[in-house]
Amino acid sequence: MTKIRIATTSLAGCFGCHTSFLDMDERLVELLEHVEFDRSPLNDIKHCGPCDIGLVEGGLCNADNVHVLREVRANCRVLVAVGACAINGGIPAMRNHFGLGACLEESYLNGIGVEDPQIPDDAELPLLLDKVHPIHEVVRVDYYLPGCPPSPEGFLSVLGDLLEGREPVLPKKLLHYD
Amino acid sequence: MSAGANQPEFSPNTFTMDGIEIPFKDGQTLMDAALAAGVYIPHLCHHPGLTPHGSCKLCMVDIGSGRASSCTTPAVAGQQVSNNTPALNEARRTLTQMLFIEGNHLCPSCEKTGNCTLQAMAYHLGMLEGHFPQFFQRREVDASHSTVMLDRDRCILCELCVRASREVDGKNVFAVAGRGITARLIVNSPSGKLADSDLEIDDLAAHICPVGAILIKAHAYEIPIGWRTFDLRQIDEIGPEKVIQARVGHTDD
Amino acid sequence: MNSVGRTERTEPLNVTVAGACAQSRHLLEVLCILQQQLLHLSDQTVCAVSEHLGLPVGQVESVVEFYSFLYKTPRGKYHILFSNCPSCGFRQDGRNLLHVLCDRLHVVAGETRADGLVSVDETSCIGMCDQGAALLVNGIPITRLDSVKIMRVAERVETEVALSDWPAEWFRVEDNIRRSGLLLKNGFAAGAGIRAALARGFDATLAEITRSGLRGRGGAGFSAGIKWALCREAQGTAHYVLCNADEGEPGTFKDRVLLHSHADAVFEGMTLCAAVIGAKQGFLYLRGEYRYLLPQLQTMLTHRREVGLLGNHILGQRGFDFDIEIVVGAGAYICGEESALIESLEGKRGVPRNRPPFPVTHGYLGQPTVVNNVETFAAAAHISLRSSAWFRAAGTEKSMGSKILSVSGDCSAPGIYEYPFGVTMRQVLDDCGARDVQAVQIGGPSGTLIGSAEFHRTLGFEDLPTGGSFMVFGHERDLLAMIVNFAHFFAHESCGFCTPCRVGTTLLKNGLDRIANGHGTQYDVDEMKRLGILVKQRSHCGLGQTAANSVLDCLHRFPHVFEQRLAQDSHEPCFDLDAALEEARRITHRDDAAAHLD
Ligand SMILES: Cc1cc2nc3c(=O)[nH]c(=O)nc-3n(C[C@H](O)[C@H](O)[C@H](O)COP(=O)(O)O)c2cc1C
Ligand code: SF4
Ligand code: SF4
Ligand code: SF4
Ligand code: FES
């Protein structure tokens, strides 16, 4: 039996969703009988090949996030936005309350404990978007798994449905935004 | 404002809601009658005892081929009302999504999470995501008051605080200014700040906010996330007004 | 919270405020006077007004932020607003007149120039659609604009010529009555309608109005006679008559002409209504855009008082006491909705009330109130003078009498056309010299979009009801641009009370912009339909309930105007990714390839 191929990535997130995914503990072993991982921070594969499912944690805060998201979208049949940040920007989107300039000045010029104040301008660094955006504003998203983070049961529920070829339906008791 | 004080004459009037017969007293709205009969109609801007507002439109129902807001529509004998239908709930979900994306509802960072009626409504309606592009409006936070704080990012303009202040507290602390998508909650004080208003911690207006826009300072995490009102129950099992009443000791009936 | 008063004024603020409060008892009028004098309403002004009038600061503030013509930050000494109605529009022959003026005056649209001299912006239709492109300068209309005139306007602003010294011809507003019927053809001597009513008796006059079949001309078409009768029966400490002269529906300007040239009939209709329902006080709620008509209307009211047609004992009849006050709006289409109008009159935001109760039982100050359109009152006066039979002789079974149309857009003779109800669209198009017509928007943005296949249809309550707006779109017109214009109008004018309209009109606007800009996909089109139906079905008042009509009509009758704009990609970003990097590029001084996204 060929395994379902899954890619995962963390954009502007905290890896909390990935950590929660791993929290499924021994159930992971069973899951791995059915799935294998492509690009993922879990195995450190850097680029995505053709996949069945993409799990995206985190929203879009910079140009690099956009490139990665597009790569994952282009290679995955089904894309799932995982967690509050992917779905509506989450905690990183709290910076949208302020202008980007104000954020950078506070972090790199005026903030407490700043030494050698200067805003980084190295061409190696991904440039920041003026606001943090949810991923569905840039690519088509097939399913959403909310939570901050979603529980391991949430992951199992959505993946279980997808593995069985069903539309994922998150049971009400697993639906939460926090 | 308690309904028990002035019971209207009983008359044997009934209407049906989703096929269930619901009795009503003269002058009652569909919402009043349904809640009294233990039937839940989703609602955000309604609170028993306060003048019905009719703005959130979550309580929309169909009456025959017509449409109405149940919180403002008087019950009429023999009406056939549809409430808990897939089409209405889908429309309600879309309205809830509109409320989420118009404001900045970042639940993980919100003290109200778990106790929030908007969030619970979204759970009830099976909302997974905001669906529409976020507006990311920038709205002012007012932390000037010693015990109450106002974070307009989460205000859904239900005007419960406006009405509670006027009708129950006998004050006039809040108002809505502006129009359209730029409408915003304002504080009725010369500086526009809560600290200069006569809001006090025991006012109903300080507690009635269904979302995390008006918050009591320094009590946010007394009950841990996971053990809060709507972590334990669905919104249709417990009217949000009961939550508020429990909190401020206001009782109805 | 900041903002200081204008430095040129030496008078202390509360003297200015006291002066304004002395001139009017209406909050909105006081604020308009102060806006004119101080060029904005600062927090201090708001507080001073609240103190002088004994109103909560919150109420004054909420009103200031509601109306388009009241500003929290200073406008220019010359404040110029271009009408953005799609019919007359400031986009002319490929030139954007607003941009022309802004460029010439070095001012950014929507902002006040640093020296405080001038500000330029756009505003919803100002009801001059038959006069070419138009603007308001300090509230006064200038019509028949072209780029030459714009240059001259700029010169006068730059050299600070007083408005009174600008060429009078610029301010001329023509009636453009092209076709007269029942109301416009027949003369009306002041007092004639009241005399006839006195001779007949007021009960018989009400019966006559009812028998005439007169239905409201402002939109909903409710029977005027029944409305008056309901109000008369309603208990209250006072009864009121309100004339709805808010005429905010883009493309509508017939009330402007009635008030300019037939105001006696309008005032007389109000007086008759007062006699029937037992009102002592009436108000004419005039849209802010028509403030220039105010002096003339005041003069007429004064004259009517002098000749005993208003005031105590009208025409010598003991106890027949009635007077009319004019209250001017301040830029809010929603205030044409009758209960919002009443709220506005009461010094509040123009937010529609919950119904029931209706204004006939609980209107102004909670008392029984009749609200009728300008044209309805004028027709009532004529009916009193000439009889119901005369009125019924025109029109159709369910639509008696005539309708005054405001014809604008792509035709050779825009203006006022009065027809018996039942006239076909084809007839109107022929008469106004419209050739090669793609579509007509009947009844304004809130009405119906009709294509050439249906020009046999008739105007009237049986088929196509209309408040009077008749916008002709020729084949050159970009229909989608019209729909986008309407969507912007509704998003701008939504009062913000209810969720579906407050958020939905903005979502519709954004979605249509996206499609018009070539970034939309079939998904977006489907979304417009889904949203449109929700906004239409679930909004609180007529504004939201009609806001999606034009997009739904266009999707139904002209689907290709959407289809031909759709992007090839199945999913386009919801925002401009490269533009979203602009701020970061500026801050970091980067412009390398990695500093861009497509
Ligand atoms: C958004 C909105 C705007 C309206 N604007 C006007 C208006 O400008 N003039 C008017 O007469 N009626 C307007 N109406 C209709 C009024 O609510 C009301 O029906 C009318 O004034 C009654 O007068 P009538 O019966 O003589 O038509 C509007 C309604 C809505 C919902
Ligand atoms: S107010 Fe409610 S919905 Fe909004 S962020 Fe807070 S918990 Fe979430
Ligand atoms: S602050 Fe809360 S109670 Fe007041 S209008 Fe906003 S959401 Fe409603
Ligand atoms: S439909 Fe629009 S204009 Fe009418 S009450 Fe709702 S928000 Fe206000
Ligand atoms: S509960 Fe009825 S409209 Fe909000």
* Contact criterion met (CB below 8 Å) for C437 and C500: no
Tell me, yes or no, whether B235 and B124 share the same domain: yes
Tell me, yes or no, whether B145 and B108 share the same domain: yes
State yes or no: pLDDT of A14 exceeds 90: yes
Residues of C in contact with A129 (CB under 8 A): 577, 580-581, 584
Q: Residue C8: its pLDDT value, please?
A: 52
Tell me, yes or no, whether B34 and B127 share the same domain: no
Mean residue pLDDT of chain C comes to 95
Where are the domains positioned within chain C?
13-66, 78-174, 178-392, 403-477, 481-598
Q: What is the pLDDT of residues C451-494, one digit of tens each?
A: 999 999 999 999 999 999 999 999 999 999 999 999 999 999 99
State yes or no: pLDDT of B6 exceeds 90: no
In a domain, B138, yes or no: yes
* Contact criterion met (CB below 8 Å) for C87 and C133: no
Confidence category of residue C90, pLDDT binned at 50, 70, 90: confident
Confidence category of residue B1, pLDDT binned at 50, 70, 90: very low
State yes or no: pLDDT of C4 exceeds 80: no
SS3 of C77-143: CEEEEEECCCCCCCEECCEEHHHHHHHHHCCCCCCECCCCCEEEEEECCCCCCCCCCCEEECCEEEC
SS3 C550: helix
Q: What is the pLDDT of residues C16-72, one digit of tens each?
A: 999 999 999 999 999 999 999 999 999 999 999 999 999 999 999 999 999 999 999
Among protein residues, the one whose CA lies closest to atom 8 of ligand 3: B158
In a domain, B179, yes or no: yes
Residues of B in contact with A141 (CB under 8 A): 129
Q: What is the value of pTM for the model shown?
A: 0.96
Tell me, yes or no, whether B174 and B51 share the same domain: no
SS3 of chain A: CCCEEEEEEECECCCHHHHHHHCCCCHHHHHCCCEEECCECCCCECCCCCEEEEEEECEEEEHHHHHHHHHHHHHEEEEEEEHHHHHHCCHHHHHHHCCHHHHHHHHHHHCCCCCCCCCCCCCCCCCEEEEEECHHHCCCCCEEECCCCCCHHHHHHHHHHHHCCCCCCCCHHHCCCC
Tell me, yes or no, whether B121 and B76 share the same domain: no
Closest partner CB to C587 (pick from A66, A119, A131)? A119
Share of chain B above pLDDT 90, in %: 85
Q: Residue B248: its pLDDT value, please?
A: 55
Cα-atom radius of gyration of chain C, to the nearest Å? 25
CB atoms closer than 10 angstroms to residue B170? 9
Instruction: Tell me the β-bridge partners of C327.
Output: C285
What CATH code is carried by the domain that includes residue B54? 3.10.20.740
In a domain, B69, yes or no: yes
Number of domains within chain A: 1
- Cβ neighbors of C203 (< 8 A, separation 6 or more) are none
End-to-end CA distance of chain B: 10
The enclosing H or E element of C191 equals none
Q: What is the pLDDT of residues C98-134, one digit of tens each?
A: 999 999 999 999 999 999 999 999 999 999 999 999 9
Number of domains within chain B: 2
Q: What is the pLDDT of residues A101-132, one digit of tens each?
A: 999 999 999 988 888 999 999 999 999 999 99
Confidence category of residue C93, pLDDT binned at 50, 70, 90: confident
SS3 C548: coil
Task: Give the position of tokens 């999470």.
Answer: B113
In a domain, A45, yes or no: yes
Tell me, yes or no, whether B149 and B26 share the same domain: no
Tell me, yes or no, whether B118 and B233 share the same domain: yes
What CATH code is carried by the domain that includes residue A143? 3.40.50.700
* Contact criterion met (CB below 8 Å) for C140 and C69: no
Share of chain C above pLDDT 90, in %: 95
Residue B79: give the domain boundaries: 13-84
SS3 of chain B: CCHHHHCCCCCCEEEEECCEEEEECCCCEHHHHHHHCCCCCCCCCCCCCCCCCCCCCCCEEEECCEEEECCCCECCCCCEEECCCHHHHHHHHHHHHHHHHHCCCCHHHCCCCCCCHHHHHHHHCCCCCCCCCCCCCCCCEECCCCCEEEEHHHCCCCCHHHHHHHHHCCCCCEEEECCHHHCEEEECCCCCCHHHCCCCCCCHHHCCCCCCCEEECCCCCCCCCCCCHHHHCCHHHCCHHHHHHHHHCCCCC
The verdict on B187 touching C (C-beta cutoff 8 Å) is yes
Give the mean pLDDT of B140-157. Answer: 97
Confidence category of residue C95, pLDDT binned at 50, 70, 90: confident
Residue C460 Rama label (left phi>0; alpha psi -120 to 50; beta) = left
* Contact criterion met (CB below 8 Å) for C374 and C247: yes
* Contact criterion met (CB below 8 Å) for C129 and C253: yes
Q: Residue C88: its pLDDT value, please?
A: 79
Which of C510-514, C566-570, C574-578 shows the lowest per-residue confidence on average (mean pLDDT)? Answer: C566-570
Length reported for chain A: 178
The verdict on C334 touching B (C-beta cutoff 8 Å) is yes
Peptide bond into C74 cis (omega under 30): no
Q: What is the CATH number of domain C78-174?
A: 3.40.30.10
Q: What is the pLDDT of residues C394-429, one digit of tens each?
A: 999 999 999 999 999 999 999 999 999 999 999 999
In a domain, B6, yes or no: no
Residues of A in contact with B129 (CB under 8 A): 81, 87-88, 134, 136, 141, 144, 146
Among protein residues, the one whose CA lies closest to atom 8 of ligand 2: B107
Q: Residue C2: its pLDDT value, please?
A: 37
Residue A56: give the domain boundaries: 4-90+131-174
Mean residue pLDDT of chain B comes to 91
Q: Residue C92: its pLDDT value, please?
A: 73
Residues of B in contact with C504 (CB under 8 A): 98
Tell me, yes or no, whether B125 and B222 share the same domain: yes
State yes or no: pLDDT of C219 exceeds 90: no
**Residue to mutate (ligand 5; options B30, B35, B44; most atoms within 8 A of CB):** B44
Residue B141 Rama label (left phi>0; alpha psi -120 to 50; beta) = beta
Confidence category of residue B250, pLDDT binned at 50, 70, 90: very low
What residue of A is the nearest CA neighbor of B109? A91
- Cβ neighbors of A164 (< 8 A, separation 6 or more) are none
Q: Residue B197: its pLDDT value, please?
A: 97
Q: How far is CA B236 from the centre of its chain?
A: 13
Residues of A in contact with B100 (CB under 8 A): 88
Confidence category of residue C195, pLDDT binned at 50, 70, 90: very high
In a domain, B18, yes or no: yes
Does domain C178-392 correspond to CATH entry 3.40.630.30?
Answer: no
In a domain, A18, yes or no: yes
Query: In the CATH hierarchy, which top-level class contains the domain C403-477?
Result: alpha beta
Q: C132 vs A29, B126, C103, C408, C473, CA distance in Å? A: 75, 52, 21, 9, 15
Burial class (CB in 10 A: 0-12, 13-18, 19+), C54: exposed
- Measured from the CA of B55, which atom of ligand 4 is nearest? 6
Tell me, yes or no, whether B78 and B130 share the same domain: no
SS3 of C292-305: HHHHHHHHHHHHHH
- Measured from the CA of B211, which atom of ligand 2 is nearest? 1
* Contact criterion met (CB below 8 Å) for B145 and B216: no
Interface of C with A in 516-575 (CB under 8 A): 570-571, 573-575
Give the mean pLDDT of B41-49. Answer: 96
Confidence category of residue B242, pLDDT binned at 50, 70, 90: low
Q: What is the pLDDT of residues C301-352, one digit of tens each?
A: 999 999 999 999 999 999 999 999 999 999 999 999 999 999 999 999 999 9
Q: Do B107 and A148 touch (CB under 8 A)?
A: yes
Q: What is the pLDDT of residues C380-391, one digit of tens each?
A: 999 999 999 999
Two tokens, residue A169: 């339906």
Which of A50-64, B5-19, B194-208, C433-447 shows the lowest per-residue confidence on average (mean pLDDT)? Answer: B5-19
The verdict on B100 touching C (C-beta cutoff 8 Å) is no
Q: C395 vs B94, B137, C400, C421, C424, CA distance in Å? A: 44, 51, 5, 4, 12
Task: Report the CATH fold assignment for C481-598.
Answer: de novo design (two linked rop proteins) (1.20.1440)
- Measured from the CA of B164, which atom of ligand 3 is nearest? 3
Task: Give the position of tokens 């809001």.
Answer: B199
Q: Do C496 and B177 touch (CB under 8 A)?
A: no
Q: Residue C87: its pLDDT value, please?
A: 85
Name the pairing type of β-strands B20-24 and B13-17. Answer: antiparallel
* Contact criterion met (CB below 8 Å) for A151 and A145: no
What residue of C is the nearest CA neighbor of B188? C58
Mutate one of A103, A127, A136 to test the C interface: name it (highest C CB count within 10 A).
A127
Confidence category of residue B240, pLDDT binned at 50, 70, 90: low
The verdict on C162 touching A (C-beta cutoff 8 Å) is no
In a domain, B38, yes or no: yes
Q: How far apart are CA C443 and CA C433, in angstroms?
A: 19
CB atoms closer than 10 angstroms to residue C113? 18
Q: How far is CA B22 from the centre of its chain?
A: 23
**So what's the ipTM on this one?**
0.95
Tell me, yes or no, whether B121 and B78 share the same domain: no
Residue C14 Rama label (left phi>0; alpha psi -120 to 50; beta) = alpha
Length reported for chain B: 253
Give the mean pLDDT of B123-147. Answer: 97
Q: What is the pLDDT of residues B170-198, one digit of tens each?
A: 999 999 999 999 999 999 999 999 999 99
State yes or no: pLDDT of C1 exceeds 50: no
